Amino acid sequence: MENGGLGLWGVPLAMLAGAIRVSTPFIFVSVGECLTERSGRINLGLEGTLVMGAMSAYAIALTTGSPWLGVLVAACVGLLLGALHAGICQLPRVNDIATGIGLMLLATGLAFFLGKPYIQPKAPNLGAIELGWWSGIPQVRQALQVNYLFVVGIVSAFALAWALKNTRWGLIVRLAGESVDAALAMGVPVGRVRLIATAIGGAFAGVGGAFLSLYYPGSWNEGLSSGQGLMAVALVIFARWDPIRCLWASLLFGAAGAISPALQSVGITEGYYLFSAAPYVLTLGLMIATCSPERALRGAPGELGAVR
């Protein structure tokens, strides 16, 4: 302690810091996928979109010197990949799960191929807001360094939740997701709605990727995502298709991921493999705790292929 350590207090602090640092890609991917799934489409390719977004953001930030331009390009790349997925899925007798997996492999492979020259060089990073100015403890200050994208992620989760509930546009999206027949009877162009929702969902995932390569951990390499995109898609089901709950689930996931290194750093070192599995155990536990024999998955959009 005399050396500036916080002892056991470091663990909750590290979990808070972990929630802030690690959760952002989860927030973006899950909020984006939430929108896509509410329109009745599943996009499993978001893992690939995340990696592609990370690569393109890093490449653009490196060549132009502007990380924010990188974020923008990552969003555009995500938009295109999302639109591609939606476009393919609109063809007759196309399975969106299979297409999603195909696009995931395509996008990761493409990102690895195009990203080769960018592994070595160092691109400028996105800055952070210092929210810990009030504290004299450097650890607290460090934990409260918040990236702008984290704030954007939180705001967009609330905005999406509000829009889905209160706007005409949100009603159309939900309608397309709940019942195609009703939507068609209302004159809603289901295909176009899903195309737009999937493209926007892809753009969100692209921005999540940009966070990975431009802020935390803040460099581009091929193991960067290691399945985070897939986990985030699963989080949407866990969060019962509610953007706000997606946000909480992502934060929880980030915090749980920080448990293992945090415990090891205060000297609780036995069984760290078990602690490393904490996020997944936690997810399973919560899934079991919240499931009910009385009702099916509540909140699941009626048209969603996976739960029908």
Partner 1 sequence: MIDRFTIGRRALLGGAAGAAALGLTGGADAQKPLVIGFIYVGPRDDYGYNQAHAEAAAILKKMPGLKVQEEEKVPETVAVEKTMESMINLDGATLVFPTSFGYFDPYMLKVAGKYPKIQFRHCGGLWTEGKHPMNTGSYFGYIDEAQYISGIVAGMTTKSGKLGFVAAKPIPQVLRNINAFTLGAQSVNPKITTQVIFTGDWALPVKEAEATNSMIAQGVDAVACHVDSPKVVIETAERAGIFTCGYHCNQAKLAPKGYLTGAEWNWERVYVGFVESLKANKPLENFVRGGLKEGYVRTSAYGPAVSAAAKEKADAAKTAILNGSLAIYKGALKDNKGNTVIPAGTSYVITEPKLESMNYLVEGVVGSTS
Phi, psi of 290 (to 5 degrees): -95, -5
Are 126 and 137 a contacting pair, CB within 8 Å? no
Residue 258 structure tokens = 């920080």
Stretch of 6-14, 58-66, 164-172, 188-196 contacting partner 1, by CB under 8 A? 6-14
Burial class (CB in 10 A: 0-12, 13-18, 19+), 267: exposed
Alpha carbons 219 and 201: distance in angstroms, whole number:
24
**Residue appearing with tokens 């927030």:** 27
Is the Cβ of residue 12 or residue 170 nearer to partner 1 in the bound state? 12
Is the Cβ of residue 52 or residue 89 nearer to partner 1 in the bound state? 52
Shortest CB 224 distance to partner 1, Å: 5
256 to 285: interface string for partner 1, x by CB under 8 A:
-xx-xxx-xxxx-xxxxx--x---------
179 to 208: interface string for partner 1, x by CB under 8 A:
------------------------------
Task: Determine, following the binding rule CB under 8 A, whether residue 6 of this chain makes contact with partner 1.
Answer: yes
Task: Determine, following the binding rule CB under 8 A, whether residue 18 of this chain makes contact with partner 1.
Answer: yes
Count the site residues for partner 1 by CB under 8 A. Answer: 45
Task: Determine, following the binding rule CB under 8 A, whether residue 61 of this chain makes contact with partner 1.
Answer: no
Alpha carbons 45 and 230: distance in angstroms, whole number:
8
Stretch of 115-123, 149-157, 232-240, 245-253 contacting partner 1, by CB under 8 A? 115-123
Shortest CB 62 distance to partner 1, Å: 14
Smallest CA-to-CA distance from 201 within 42, 71, 22 is with: 42
Alpha carbons 45 and 106: distance in angstroms, whole number:
9
Is the Cβ of residue 112 or residue 148 nearer to partner 1 in the bound state? 112
Other beta carbons within 10 angstroms of residue 93's beta carbon come to 4
Task: Determine, following the binding rule CB under 8 A, whether residue 127 of this chain makes contact with partner 1.
Answer: no
Stretch of 17-25, 81-89, 236-244, 280-288 contacting partner 1, by CB under 8 A? 17-25
Are 104 and 48 a contacting pair, CB within 8 Å? yes
Smallest CA-to-CA distance from 197 within 154, 138, 243 is with: 243
Alpha carbons 74 and 62: distance in angstroms, whole number:
13
Provide the b/e sequence for 112-142 (b: ≥16 CB within 10 Å).
eeebeebeeeebeebebeeebeeeeeebbee
216 to 245: interface string for partner 1, x by CB under 8 A:
xxxx-xxxx-x-x-----------------
Type of residue at 145 = Q
Shortest CB 287 distance to partner 1, Å: 23
Give contact residues for partner 1 (rule: CB under 8 A).
3-6, 10, 13-14, 17-18, 21-22, 112, 116, 119-120, 122, 139, 142-143, 212, 216-219, 221-224, 226, 228, 257-258, 260-262, 264-267, 269-273, 276
